[in-house]
Amino acid sequence: MDQPKPDALAASDPPDSRWCAADRIAELRDLSILDSEPEAPYDDLIRIAAHVCRAPVALVSFVDAERQWFKAELGLGIRETPLDCSVCAHAIEAGDALVIPDLTADPRTAANPLVTGPEQFRFYAGVAIRGAGGVPLGALCVLDRVPRPEGLDTAQTATLAALARQVSTLLEQRRTLARVAAREAELAASERRFRVMTAAMPQMVWTTLPDGFHDYYNDRWYEFTGVPYGSTDGVGWNGVFHPEDQERAWARWRRSLATGEPYEIEYRLRHHSGAYRWTLGRAMPIRDADGRIERWFGTCTDIDDLKRAEAEARQLAAIVETSKDFIGLCTEDGRITHLNEAALALVGLPDLAAARARTIPDFFTPESRIALAETVMPAVRGSGWWEGELAFRHFATGAAIPVLYNIFPVRDAAGTVAGYATVTRDLREAKRAEEARDLLIRELSHRIKNIFAVVGGLAALTARGDPAAKPFADAFRQRLGALARAHEYVRPHSPDSAPAVAGQTVLGLMRLIMAAYEEGGRARVAIAGDDAPIGERTATALALIMHEQATNAMKYGGLSREDGGVSLTGHREDGRYTLVWAESGGPPVAAPPSRKGFGTVLAERSVAGQLDGVLERDWAPAGLVMRLAVPVENLRF
């Protein structure tokens, strides 16, 4: 068939003005094709082109901004040329195809270095290679060093066009593979981020497929449960639940899978130690753009310590509410935040709302309110607590209620005082019991005094009837009087009945008590040494101890024989006061007693409990030696 003249083919296809150079360059950059390594599929295509067109040179050429670059070349020996050497640049401007039978006769190529230079190409035929949207990127072309007035036949032209389309297909495949690789890289990176994130989380993390098949657990899960990796995939997870919780957990999970509702449940999970610990399980569905569930993301949080703390808090709350003591909380400025039922009942308030309308001072009598402001709160702020006797007032009757009141600060997590708390005891019953006890003590003391008086009267009556007995009766009455005075110290006392000890000292008290054991004007107990002031509580305790010691000495020890005696010596040194009781002249001591009498036990408890002292006994053959050591500062109480 007849072939068109050299310029006729180009003229028949008007230039494609829809695309500009910027479009071409952007598409080449997106494909990342420039300067890539040779690839066999492209090489195969140009071999076919060269064979079908019987041409020595075939190229897959892409036109860049300032060069043309060959993805595949046959017979040329170079990978790129400057743009002024490009005939393919004219091909992409011409349209789909360009055939130039004699390059020296075409004004577009006559001065081309590939035509005028050593290669002296004369023939060119090329078909545009198009990218996405039809953007022309370059050409698949063949060249010959001799002119071809006849150009290409129909089969050759069709083959060249088909091969160019294959290049376009390869380019799209490259783009697709690149996007797939990028997506896979993104997914891999996302997976790595997910695993790093879940590894850093303190909770146990798990995921499932849409049907609930568990396919991932983080390291926290395996550390907690101690099971082998992968052993709880699928439905194996239920085996580490407490048997009593398994069916309940399954039912809740099946419901979430069926409805897509978030999953939340508390159950006991077997710890690697073998113990079951309470755990909070949660899961949320992850949905795609159409709302379909792609995966489930879940966590397990160990709440066993929290559950125990909550149980303890409930127990504590129950104790507070059932306690018979007044228990309350207030803010730092004294506004009531909570009172238990016993507190409301004690002061006659109907409910907690009424209590919250009050402040701390409202609960006290006027006198105790002054003490609260001037003594109690300054002590709490200074030392952290206060305890003592005050008086509440009954809001309905106005009656005073004696209480043992204590108050201490409540601090927040940062250690800052957030308010105050009290556990206060109603003293009315104790006061009544104390009054009854004091009345009984007074009655008992009165009766003992009467006995002393009756015995003394009998002795005096005997002396009047028998003058010879008068010296004995007088001495007996003096000893009886001394015992009566000593009795005042050793009997129990209330604050109102306690004997006066103002100005009293340890040795002075000892002389008063031991006066009962004088005989014939001679002191059987020799008292000497260092002295120290003494308080009411200490006086009672020491009197009880020494009276018991003297009584035992009269029965079994140094005072049981006429020529026997006791030395009682005080020593004050290094903040301690020591009384030494040393017996002599009594029966020989073979061994310590096999048991302690009630009086001895009571004396030892008084030393330890009331005086914070130490009582030691040395059962020496010559006589008992007792040492009683007490801190000097404790003597003043």
Spatial distance between the Cα atoms of 315 and 299, rounded to a whole number of angstroms: 30
Mean pLDDT of 20-37: 92
Say what the pLDDT of residue 13 is. Answer: 41
Chain segment 307-316, per-residue pLDDT in tens:
898 888 888 8
Tokens of 256: 């979430």
pLDDT at residue 473 greater than cutoff 70 = no
Q: Say which residue, 605 or 367, is predicted with more confidence.
A: 367
Share the mean pLDDT of the chain: 85
- β-bridge pairing 565-573 and 386-393: unpaired
What confidence score (pLDDT) does residue 8 get?
34
pLDDT at 11: 33
- Long-range CB pairs of 511-516, under 8 A, 24+ apart, other chains included: 512/482, 512/485, 512/486, 513/482, 513/485, 513/486, 513/489, 513/543, 513/546, 513/547, 513/550, 514/546, 514/550, 514/568, 515/482, 515/485, 515/486, 516/479, 516/482, 516/483, 516/485, 516/486, 516/550
Q: Give me the pLDDT at residue 197, please.
A: 78
Percent of the chain with pLDDT over 70: 86
Residue 482 has pLDDT above 60, yes or no: no
Answer yes or no: is pLDDT of 22 > 50: yes
> How wide is the angle at C-alpha 110 spanned by C-alphas 104 and 112, nearest 5°?
120
For residue 2, the model assigns a pLDDT of 40
According to the 3-state scheme, what is the secondary structure of 148-161? CCCCCCHHHHHHHH
Q: Once rounded to an integer, what is the mean pLDDT over residues 113-134?
A: 92
Q: Report yes or no: 298 and 263 within 8 Å, Cβ to Cβ.
A: yes
pLDDT at 19: 77
Backbone φ, ψ for residue 352 (5° rounding): -65, -35
pLDDT at 497: 55
Q: Which DSSP symbol is given to 533?
A: B
Other CB atoms within 10 Å distance of the CB of residue 314 = 10
Q: Is the pLDDT of residue 44 over 60?
A: yes
**Helices (H), strands (E): how many in the chain?**
18, 21
Following DSSP, what letter does each residue of 467-528 receive, concatenated?
GGGHHHHHHHHHHHHHHHHHHHHHS---TTTSPP-TT-BHHHHHHHHHGGG-BTTB-SEEEE
Out of 11-20, 191-200, 385-394, 528-537, the most confident range is 385-394
Please check the confidence at residue 365 and state whether its pLDDT lies above 70: yes
User: Residue 518 pLDDT more than 90?
Assistant: no
E strands, 46-93, are 57-63, 67-74, 80-82
Distances (CA, A) of 412 to 122, 306, 385, 409, 435: 95, 18, 17, 10, 43
pLDDT of residue 114: 92
**The tokens of 326 are what?**
């007044």
What distance in Å separates the CA atoms of residue 220 and residue 195, rounded to the nearest whole number?
12
Residue 551 has a pLDDT of 81
**Position of tokens 């601090």?**
411
pLDDT reported for residue 462: 65
Instruction: State CA 81 to chain mean position distance.
Output: 71
Pairing relation of β-strands 417-426 and 400-411? antiparallel
State residue 549's pLDDT score: 84
Q: Which residues contact 540 (CB under 8 A, 6 or more apart)?
A: 489, 490, 493, 498
The answer to whether 491 touches 445, Cβ cutoff 8 Å, is: yes
**Does residue 154 register a pLDDT over 70?**
yes
pLDDT at 493 over 80: no
pLDDT (0 to 100) of residue 614: 87
DSSP string, 405-448: EEEEEEE-TTS-EEEEEEEEEE-HHHHHHHHHHHHHHHHHHHHH
* Cα 78 from Cα 126, distance rounded (Å): 18
Above 70 in pLDDT, residue 475?
A: no
pLDDT higher than 50, residue 230: yes
d(C-alpha 579, C-alpha 571), whole Å: 6
The reported pLDDT for the residue numbered 498 is 52
Q: Crossing angle for the helix pair 598-610 and 536-556, nearest 10 degrees?
A: 150
Mean pLDDT of the 604-633 span:
84
Mean pLDDT of 426-451: 72
Query: Amino acid identity, residue 401?
Result: I
The pLDDT of residue 435 is above 70: yes
Tell whether the model's pLDDT for residue 436 goes beyond 90: no
Share of the chain above pLDDT 90, in %: 51
d(CA 589, CA 581): 15
Instruction: For residue range 238-285, list pLDDT tens digits in order.
Output: 889 999 999 999 999 999 999 999 999 999 999 999 999 999 999 999
Per-residue pLDDT tens digits for 605-619:
777 777 888 888 888
What six digits make up the tokens of 229?
């990796």
* pLDDT above 90 for 392: yes
Task: Note the pLDDT tens digit of each residue in 347-364.
Answer: 999 999 999 999 999 999
Tell me if 46 sits within 8 A of 74, measured CB to CB: yes
Helix or strand run (H / E) with residue 11: helix 6-12
Tell me phi and psi for residue 319, to 5 degrees: -60, -45
CA 463, 468, 470 angle in degrees (round to 5)? 35
Q: Are 127 and 160 in contact (CB under 8 A)?
A: yes
Average the pLDDT over 338-348 and give the result. 92
**What are the structure tokens assigned to 464, written together?**
């009047």
Question: In this model, does residue 7 exceed pLDDT 60?
Answer: no
Identity at 311, one-letter amino acid code: A
Cα–Cα distance measured from residue 246 to residue 590, given in angstroms and rounded to the nearest whole number = 76
pLDDT at 371: 92
Which residue type is seen at 251? A
Lowest mean pLDDT: which of 70-74, 76-80, 115-119, 448-452? 448-452
Look at residue 484 in the predicted model and tell me its pLDDT. 62
* 393 pLDDT higher than 90: yes
pLDDT of residue 133: 85
CB-CB contact of 296 with 286 (8 Å): yes
* pLDDT at 26 (0 to 100): 93
